[in-house]
Structure 1
C-alpha cells in the first residue's frame, strides 16, 4: 500500500532485524572456500540500493535547485542519517544520484557509491555539491524511471531493497506515459517513492498543476511501503529531503500514517502534463 505523509508528522521508528554473523573456518577446513565465498557475498550486501532521481527542468528556479542540492548533501551527512544507517542489518547502503529533464536528458552526478559511515557519507555529499547546477527543458518522469531501472544491474552491491526516489515540481509532459514506466519498474520488484515540490503557486507558464501530490500518489509512486512527502513550504525543503532519506534507509513507515492513498481511479489525470503541453503548443 502506498502512503502519503506530511512534513513534521513523520517519525522513523524501530530498526531492521540484524543478520547472523558467519563463523570463520579454521585453517585447512574443507568448508573454507564456501565460507570465503559467503563472506565475499556479504561484503557486497547492502540494506538498500537507492537511486536519487532529481528534476532540473526549467520550471525549477535556480534557488530551488540550489536548496535541493544542499538538502541532499546535508541529509546524507546528518547524524540522523548516519544513525539510521548504522542500525540496518548490514549498516551500509549503495546510492547513485542523477538529474533529469526531457526523456533523453539524464545526467549521472554520482555513480554508484557505498555509504557505510561518516567518511563515505561526507565524500558523497561533497561530490554532490561540487557539480555545477544546470537546468534543461521538458519534464519526463517516465524517462527518469526508464533510465533508473537498468542502473540497478550496474550496481556492484546487492540490496535487500531497490528504491527509486523521484523528486520534481511538475507532471510528466514528455516521453511515454508515466504509469507505463512505473508499472514496468514495479514488476521488477522496485519501489518508487516521490517528493513533489509544491512551493510555488501553480502557473500555466511553467506547466504546473494543482494537487501535484495527488498526481505523484496515483500516477508515479508504487511498490510495498512506497510513500510521498510533499514539500509545500520552501523552509521545509531540506527537512523533507532528510525525512525521506531516513525512511528509505531505515526501510520504515510511520506507525500512524497521516493519509492513506486510495487504491482507486487516479484523482488526477495521469496524462494531464501531456494534455497541457498539447493544448499550449499543439504537439
Structure 2
C-alpha cells in the first residue's frame, strides 16, 4: 500500500525513456551513498528505501531540477558498510520529470539489499568517486550524498583521506546523519559533528540530521532541494 501511495500522484505521467537515449549533459551527477550496515534491521531498511523513493519523487525536488539550466540531473545509488564492499544497487538514471522520478523510485524500491557489515565510510566515498568518474552523463556539479547512523570504523581508506581525494577531483560531499537526539559517538560528540570533521568537503558542503529512519524522507527532501538548487 505504501509503495502505491508513494507513486500514485505521478502515475499519470508518460512512460519514461531510457537514460542512455537522453542527452549526455545534465546539471548534476548525484551519487547517493546509503548505509546498509548490520546495524539496520529489515524494517528499518525498508523505511530507509521508502524514504529515498518518496524524496526523489517529491514535487519540491522536481521543481528544483526544473529550475536548473538543463532541467535534469543523473542519480545513482550505492550501498555501503563492508570494508571494500560498497555496491552500486541502482545504476545512473536521468531524473527530470514525474515519469523519470517514477522509474527511479521503482528502481530504488526493487533493488536487492547488498550484503554489508561494519561502517566503512572511506571505502564508500572511494567507490562513489570512481562511479562519478565513469558516469555516462557529464555535469559540472558532482556530489556524493552519504547517509549513515555511525562513524567510519574499518575502512581500508580512512574517511578523511577518501574525502580529500574526492574533493581534490572536484566532487562535493554532503552527509545525512541518522541519529537520535542526544546520541554521541565514541569520540563523545554528535554524529553530525563527526561527519562535519571527517566526511563532508568541497564548496558549500553541509550535514543534515534525521532523528530516525522515519525522518529520512523529510531530511533527505530538504537536503536534495538544497543540493540541486
Q: CA deviation at 1:249?
A: 1.7
Q: CA deviation at 1:247?
A: 1.3
Do structure 1's residue 96 and structure 2's residue 76 form an aligned pair?
yes
Q: CA deviation at 1:58?
A: 1.1
Deviations for 1:49-74, whole angstroms, at most 9, x for unmatched residues?
Answer: 00000011111233322121111111
Deviations for 1:105-147, whole angstroms, at most 9, x for unmatched residues?
Answer: 1221110111121111110100110123455211100000011
Q: Which runs of 5+ in 2 are unaligned?
A: 1-21
C-alpha separation between the residues in 1 aligned to 2:184 and 2:171? 33
Secondary structure (helix, strand or coil) at the match of 1:98 reads strand
Larger radius of gyration: 1
Do structure 1's residue 167 and structure 2's residue 157 form an aligned pair?
no
- TM score, norm. by length of structure 1: 0.68
Could you tell me which residue of structure 2 aligns to residue 153 of structure 1? 133
Q: Specify which of 178, 181, 187 is matched with residue 159 of structure 2.
A: 178
Could you tell me which residue of structure 2 aligns to residue 55 of structure 1? 35
Deviations for 1:143-168, whole angstroms, at most 9, x for unmatched residues?
Answer: 00011111112211111200000100
- TM score, norm. by length of structure 2: 0.84
Could you tell me which residue of structure 1 aligns to residue 13 of structure 2? none
Q: Which runs of 5+ in 1 are unaligned?
A: 1-41, 251-283
Secondary structure (helix, strand or coil) at the match of 2:210 reads coil
Matches within 5 A, 1:1-283: 43-133=23-113, 136-175=116-155, 176-199=157-180, 202=183, 210-250=189-229
Range with greater deviation from structure 2 (132-141 or 81-90): 132-141
Deviations for 1:250-276, whole angstroms, at most 9, x for unmatched residues?
Answer: 1xxxxxxxxxxxxxxxxxxxxxxxxxx
Secondary structure (helix, strand or coil) at the match of 1:196 reads strand
Answer whether contact 2:183 2:190 (CA < 8 A) is retained: no
